[in-house]
Amino acid sequence: MDTAVCGRCGHKLQSRDPLSLQRVWAFWVVGAICYIPANVYPMLRTQTLFQVDESTIISGAVELAHYGSYGIAAIILFASVVIPLAKFWAVAYLAISVKAPTRVSNHRRQMLYEVVEYIGRWSMIDIFVVAILSALVQLKTLASINPGPAAIFFALSVIFTMLSAQAFDSRMIWDVQAKNEDPKHDE
């Protein structure tokens, strides 16, 4: 059987996946569910000779700000709270917009999709910070820093939102326009 190829670049052509939106929503829901314990459970567990401190993402950022590290606190809040929530909103908006009428142009929605895809590469920065801190601060009997249960949930949330964004077929954005221009157009 012959596989259709692009006349310009020679790559194999792929047809639309009819279950693309279902996969988007399934990954999105799992990511959203994992995001809740990622912000409720402790991200870091710091153990010194006489005490054990556990901090969530937000309480850790507040503590950093309390000690004067406003820039680092802002970066942590931005990377751990603002960006994930924005990604959830953007993916949900894109998935809804291919089925419901919207005033936002196809070009802007395509650009939103590309931004979400680009940001996905940087989403694991918090997990890397926890891993680096855990590796660097191991003074055995004096102090140790270990990842808390939130680290696993945060990593899962990031992974599932990335999968959700990758499951979204951006060609669906343009399919709506094609259907409006050609009433005979069928998927």
Calculate the average pLDDT of the chain.
Answer: 81
- Rounded to whole angstroms, the Cα distance separating 102 from 105 reads 8
User: Which structural domains are found in the chain, ordered by start?
Assistant: 20-181 (1.20.140)
pLDDT at 132: 62
pLDDT at 160: 94
pLDDT at residue 60 tops 50: yes
Residue 136: other Cβ atoms inside 10 A: 9
Burial letters 13-37, b for 16+ CB under 10 A, else e: eeeeeeebbebbbebbebbbebbee
Instruction: Please state the pTM of the whole predicted model.
Output: 0.77
